[in-house]
Amino acid sequence: MSEAGFHIRKLDQGDNVQNFKLGNEAFLPLKTFLQKQAKTFQESNIAQTYVAVTTQNAIAGFITLTCSEIDLQNHYAISDCSHANNYEYLPAVKIARLAVDSRYRENGIGTALLDFAIALIIDRVADSVGCRFVVTDAKIEAVEFYAKQGFTVLNSYQSGASDYHLMFLDLDILS
């Protein structure tokens, strides 16, 4: 599918979320989130989900965003506002979920969803309330994908049976 074959918009309460496939048991929580929780989280203002839909209105991928913060633990300093480095936590938006249906991968949809989210954060969040970073807890399988988009690993930790890598993007490097 070409990049022109889809567009990105907010998840609609009427969207059919049942046909989304991830092709691997390890990704089941991502599918369960879309199918069972994303609409409620959206209505409750806990997290907002944006979907890439095909011309037939099938969901090919989604990204979920929520408010967050980051403790840079002296591993990274803000150069253009040195006083901000005195704060333990700095403002961020978290990519809480990101997934592309296994039938549509490697078509630029993941990148397009990320680009869409970053533009939204810069234009509508950072400009209105202040937000400097994008953060995500990436599983090892996704670290390279995020690194290609400019994210850096801050630290790694284990939760349950999985290893996660806290990755961040300083939005200032894009301006």
Q: What are phi and psi of 73, to 5 degrees?
A: 50, 40
Integer-rounded Cα Rg, in Å, for the chain is 16
Closest contact distance (angstroms) between CB of 142 and ligand COA is: 4
Q: Which of 154, 157, 143 is nearest to 98 (CA)?
A: 143
How far apart are CB 23 and ligand COA at their closest, in Å?
A: 8
Q: Show contacts with ligand COA in window 86-105 (CB under 6 A).
A: 98-100, 105
User: Would you say 104 or 133 has its CB closer to ligand COA?
Assistant: 104
Q: Is 109 in the site for ligand COA (CB under 6 A)?
A: yes
Contact with ligand COA (CB under 6 A): which of 25, 43, 80, 144? 144
Which residues neighbour 142 within 8 Å (Cβ) at sequence distance 6 or greater? 98
Give the binding-site size for ligand COA (rule: CB under 6 A).
19
CB-facing half-sphere around the CA of 37: CA atoms within 13 A: 11
Tokens of 65: 């965003």
Number of H helices, E strands in the chain: 5, 7
Q: Which is nearer to ligand COA, 50 or 78 (CB)?
A: 50
Judged by the rule CB under 6 A, the positions of this chain that interact with ligand COA are: 27, 30, 98-100, 105-111, 138-139, 141-142, 144-145, 148
